[in-house]
Amino acid sequence: MRQAVALVATLTPDDDLEHALACTAAARDSLDAALNELMAAGVLEGSSLRAVAAQAGLAPNSVAARLARSSTLGAYSTDGRVRTEAVYQARAEKAGPLRFQPRRPTS
């Protein structure tokens, strides 16, 4: 990602238009992938889809599709979207299995 952004930063108005567009598109793709992963991490930590959308400056309806493209939550997607139920499941799986703890000593 840093390489793509650095390459865009070095572009000048004299550069070939095709080259400049290709570099800019590569940087955009890298930034989109990073944003998707950060949003997935935020959702797994407990933020709502709406809160993540607001923090990223996106429409709330676009977050579910972006989460489906993330490597973190992509396996939980259905029809190209990560539903709220899938987020709950991912959070539970991240927390690990539940352990039995007796309420009082057995002896």
Q: Mind listing the pLDDT tens digit for each residue in 39-81?
A: 999 999 999 999 999 999 999 999 999 999 999 999 999 999 9
Question: What pLDDT sits at residue 99?
Answer: 82
Domain parsing of the chain, residue ranges: 2-94
Say if pTM beats, i.e. exceeds, 0.95: no
pLDDT of 1 > 80? The answer is no
Count CB atoms within 10 A of the CB of residue 7. 16
Check pLDDT > 80 for residue 7: no
Identity of residue 101: Q
Q: Is 96 left (phi over 0), alpha (psi -120 to 50) or beta?
A: left
pLDDT number for residue 54: 96
pLDDT tens digits, residue range 84-98? Answer: 999 999 999 998 887
The pLDDT value given to residue 26: 87
